[in-house]
Structure 1
Amino acid sequence: MYKEQQVALYVRVSREEQVDGFSLEAQEAALRAEVKLRNKLVYDIYRDEGHFGRSGGP
């Protein structure tokens, strides 16, 4: 019996500059479109939202 292939998605934003250019939502939408095109099934999504800030002393 043929079993539909399943995939996990991984989206990541590592720098502040990337947030506006290719957000997690935009990445997820693009990946889901590709998965649908290839007749696969998304079983999980991993999101690495990153944290921005500066380190240093007072």
Structure 2
Amino acid sequence: MDSTGINILVAAYRDVTQADGWIRLAAPTEAVLRLLQLVGVDGLIPCRPTLHEALAP
């Protein structure tokens, strides 16, 4: 993932939350998790270890 991917995630987060929705990432790789933590996006977009957990309320 690069800056384009992060910008897409942030834009999606903004659009979805304005519509009273939510966004979560399912099973991101360690590299993606580290990048999200470095840029501070991990606080906005929760990451879950599995798709099942990401879809749970």
Band the TM-score falls in, shorter-chain normalisation: 0.3 to 0.5
Larger radius of gyration: 1
Higher share in strand: 1
Higher share in helix: 2
TM-score (norm 2): 0.36
Which of 1 and 2 has higher RCO (CA within 8 Å, sep 6+)?
A: 1
